[in-house]
Chain A
Amino acid sequence: MDKLQYADVNRDVVRSLVETGPRYYTALFIAIGVTLACFFFPWFYQLYYGIGAAGMNHPAVWGTYLASFIFWIGLSHSGTLLSCVLHLTNSEWRKAMYRSAEAMTLFSLMVAATMVLVHVGRPWFVHWTMPYPNQMELWPNFRSPLLFDVMAVATYLTGSSIFIYMGAIPDFAAVRDRTSGWRRHMYVLLSLGWRGTDKQWHRLGWAYTFLAVLIIPLAVSVHSIVSWDFAMSIVPALHQTIFAPYFVVGAIYSGTAGIVTVMFVLRKYMNFEQYITRVHFDNLGKLMLVLSLIWTYINILEVFTGWYSGTSTELEAMKYKMFGYYAPLYWEMIAFCAVAPLLLISKRFRTSFVPMLILSVAVNIGMYTERFLIVTTSLSRQYLPDAWGLYVPSLVEVSILIGSLALFTTLFLIFVKIFPSVSIYEVKETMATPNRRPSEEGVPQWQPTS
C-alpha cells in the first residue's frame, strides 16, 4: 500500500465505478435471471396456490423461510461489527473494507425482510404489524417478540442505510468531480454539496461516531430479539436463556465469514488487490477463529444444559438433534463450524486466499444448517409422540433459498457500480501524507514543514 498515492485511490475507485466489462454484465444478467426464476416466480406461485406450496405443515410450521430469515439477519451483523466496533477502536485495517461490509449488512437485511414476507401467507397485510390508527381498531400487541422484531429490524434497516450513506458522502463528492453525464447528476445529488471543509469533516466525524455508538447496541438487540422469537416459546430445546448470546455470536461469526467471501470476490474481480491485502485476511481469520471458539463453547453449553435439566422433553430433543432424522446435518454443522475453523490457528492458512474462501463458504453452509436445525428439530418433536412429524422443504422453498442468494448478489452487483466500494477518504487516511512520485513530471517530493 505504500506505493499508492492519493490520486491513485481516486482513480482506482472511479475506475471501479465507471469501467464495466462484459464479465460484470454477464454476472449481473445471470444474477437477475436466477432471482426472477428462482425467487420471484416460485413466490408468485406460492401466492397464487397458497402457502401449502411450501412444505410447512403441522407440527413443523416453521421451515427454511425462517431459517433463511435468521441466516440473513445474522449475515448482516458483520458489517456493523467491522464498521462500528473497529471504528471506535481505531483499527486501521478496517478502512479499506468496511464499505462493502456495510453494504452486506444492508442487503442481507433487505433479503431477510423479504424472507419474512415470503414466510407469511398474506404479505399484503404486512402493514398491520405497524402501529397506525385504523378503522379496525386493531393495534399490534407489543408484548409479542414478533412485534419486537418488526421494531428492531425496521430500526436496524433505517440505521444501517443512514450509516453507509453518511460515511460515503465525501466519497460521492470525490467521485462527482470525475464523472460525467447521468452519473454526475446522481453524485451531485448524493454528495449534498460536500466540500470537505474543516468544519464539515469535524461534523461528520462526530455524527459518524455517534451513529457507530448507537448502532452497536442496536445490532446486539436485533439478533437477541430474533432469538426470543424462538426462546420465548415453550418448545423444548428452544426455551433457553442462552439463546440471545448464542444467536448474536452465531450472527457475527457467519457475518465475518461472509465478509471473507465478499472480500475475496471484490479483490479478485474488482481489481482491489492493492487495497484488500493479506493483512485483512489475516485479521479476519483471527476474528473468525475467536468467534468459532465462542460458538463451539455455547454449543457445548447448550447440550450440557439440556442434559443437566433432567427433563424428559429436553433430553428427547437433544437426542433427536444429535442422533435423529436430522443428525447428519448436525454433524455437518459441527464439522464446518467447530472443527474446520481450527485450521485458522495457522497463519499460513489465514493468509492464503483460496483456502480462506473455501473455509468461509463452508462456515456459512454450517451456519445455515444451524438455523435450519433450530427451526426444524425443535418443532417436529415436541411433547406428545402422536403429534410428532417431519419437515422436509418443498421444491418451492429450496428454489426460494437459492433465489435469495441471487437476490443478494444482484443487489450487491448494483451497489458496486453506484457506491465507491472502497472508502476513498478512509483509505487515504491510512496512507502516509502525500508525496508525489519523484516522478516523470519532475515534481519535487513534498517535505513536511512544521
Chain B
Amino acid sequence: MATHIIGLFHGPDSALAAAGKLRGAGLPTPELQSPVPIEGVEEVLGVKKAVIKRFTFFGGLIGAASGFLLAAGTAVLWAHPTGGRPIITIPPFLIITYELTILFGILATVLGFLISARLPAIRERIYVPEAAVDKFAVIVACDDDEHRGRAEAILREAGAEEVRASMEQS
C-alpha cells in the first residue's frame, strides 16, 4: 500500500516549483491537481504526448471513406440514371463525405480523450476536493518512511499551506 503525500499550495507557481524539486530529488513524478490548467507544467514535469490527434486523424479518415462509400455504394446498388449523367456524381457525394469526416472525427476525438484521460474513472483515485476550488495540490506517491519524510520536507519548504498523507486503496 503506497502512501500519497499531498501538499496544498495557494498559487500555481509555488506548486510547480515544489513539483520540480520533488522530481529533482529522485522521488516519483508528482501529480498536480488544480482548479485551472497550469501553464508551464511541461517544462517541469516533462512533455506529454497527445495521442488524441491520432484518434482525430484516423477517425476523420474512416469517416471520409465511409461517407463516400455510403453515397457511392447506394447510388451503384440502387442505380437511378437521370439524363445520362454519371451514377457516381462527385460534387454532391463530396458533401456527404465531408459531413461524415467531421462526424467521425468528432466521435473519435471524444473516444481518444476518454481513453487518454482515463475517464470515466472506474477505480477510486486520490482526489483533493480543494483543488476544484482554489488550491493547487501536489501529490507524490511514497513507498517508505524515508521518502515520505523527504517529500514532506520539500513540500513544506516550498511553501505548502498544508501537507497531509493519504492512503490509496489498491
Q: Which residues of A contact B (CB under 8 A)?
A: 5-7, 10, 131, 137, 139-144, 147-148, 151-152, 154-155, 158-159, 162, 166, 169-170, 173-174, 177, 192-207, 210-211, 214-215, 217-218, 221, 225, 424-425, 428-429, 433-436, 446, 448-450
B106 contacts chain A at the CB level, 8 A cutoff: yes
- The smallest C-beta distance from A90 to any residue of chain B, in angstroms, reads 12
Assembly CA distance A428 to B99 (angstroms)? 35
Q: Taking chain B's interface residues, is the majority helix, strand, or loop, or is none over half, making it mixed?
A: helix
- Given that A131-B70, A210-B56 are known contacts, is A148 also in contact with B96, CB under 8 Å in the complex? yes
Q: Taking chain A's interface residues, is the majority helix, strand, or loop, or is none over half, making it mixed?
A: helix
25 contacts between A and B (CB under 8 A): A10-B132, A139-B74, A142-B70, A148-B99, A151-B96, A151-B99, A155-B103, A162-B107, A177-B132, A192-B121, A195-B126, A195-B128, A196-B132, A198-B38, A199-B117, A203-B52, A203-B117, A206-B50, A214-B60, A215-B106, A428-B36, A448-B11, A448-B14, A449-B14, A449-B17
Assembly CA distance A170 to B34 (angstroms)? 10
Assembly CA distance A205 to B107 (angstroms)? 16
- Given that A143-B92, A166-B113, A202-B50 are known contacts, is A174 also in contact with B121, CB under 8 Å in the complex? no
In the bound complex, do residue B92 and residue A196 qualify as a contact, i.e. CB atoms below 8 Å apart?
A: no
- The smallest C-beta distance from A421 to any residue of chain B, in angstroms, reads 18
In the bound complex, do residue A203 and residue B116 qualify as a contact, i.e. CB atoms below 8 Å apart?
A: yes
- The smallest C-beta distance from A209 to any residue of chain B, in angstroms, reads 9
- The smallest C-beta distance from B19 to any residue of chain A, in angstroms, reads 9
B48 contacts chain A at the CB level, 8 A cutoff: yes
Residue in chain A with minimal CB distance to B99: A151
- The smallest C-beta distance from A393 to any residue of chain B, in angstroms, reads 32
- Given that A204-B117, A214-B56 are known contacts, is A433 also in contact with B12, CB under 8 Å in the complex? yes
In the bound complex, do residue B103 and residue A158 qualify as a contact, i.e. CB atoms below 8 Å apart?
A: yes
| B105 neighbours in A (Cβ, 8 Å) | 210, 214
Residue in chain A with minimal CB distance to B138: A198
Assembly CA distance A434 to B34 (angstroms)? 12
Assembly CA distance A298 to B78 (angstroms)? 41
Assembly CA distance A16 to B99 (angstroms)? 37
In the bound complex, do residue A195 and residue B127 qualify as a contact, i.e. CB atoms below 8 Å apart?
A: yes
| B70 neighbours in A (Cβ, 8 Å) | 131, 142
| B131 neighbours in A (Cβ, 8 Å) | 195-196
In the bound complex, do residue B113 and residue A207 qualify as a contact, i.e. CB atoms below 8 Å apart?
A: yes
| A142 neighbours in B (Cβ, 8 Å) | 70-71, 74-75, 92-93, 96
B129 contacts chain A at the CB level, 8 A cutoff: yes
| B37 neighbours in A (Cβ, 8 Å) | 201-202, 204-205, 425, 429
Assembly CA distance A143 to B107 (angstroms)? 25
| A10 neighbours in B (Cβ, 8 Å) | 132-134
Bitwise interface map of B from 10 to 38 toward A, beta carbon under 8 Å scored 1, else 0: 11111001000000000000011111111
- The smallest C-beta distance from A201 to any residue of chain B, in angstroms, reads 4
| A206 neighbours in B (Cβ, 8 Å) | 50, 52-53, 113
- The smallest C-beta distance from B105 to any residue of chain A, in angstroms, reads 5
In the bound complex, do residue A141 and residue B80 qualify as a contact, i.e. CB atoms below 8 Å apart?
A: yes
Q: Pick the contact of B113 from A173, A204, A448 — CB < 8 Å?
A: A204
B7 contacts chain A at the CB level, 8 A cutoff: no
Assembly CA distance A395 to B79 (angstroms)? 43
**A166-B110, A197-B32 provided; 20 other pairs, C-beta below 8 A?**
A10-B133, A131-B74, A142-B92, A148-B99, A152-B99, A192-B121, A195-B127, A195-B128, A196-B35, A198-B32, A198-B34, A198-B45, A201-B37, A201-B38, A202-B37, A203-B50, A204-B37, A207-B112, A221-B98, A449-B158
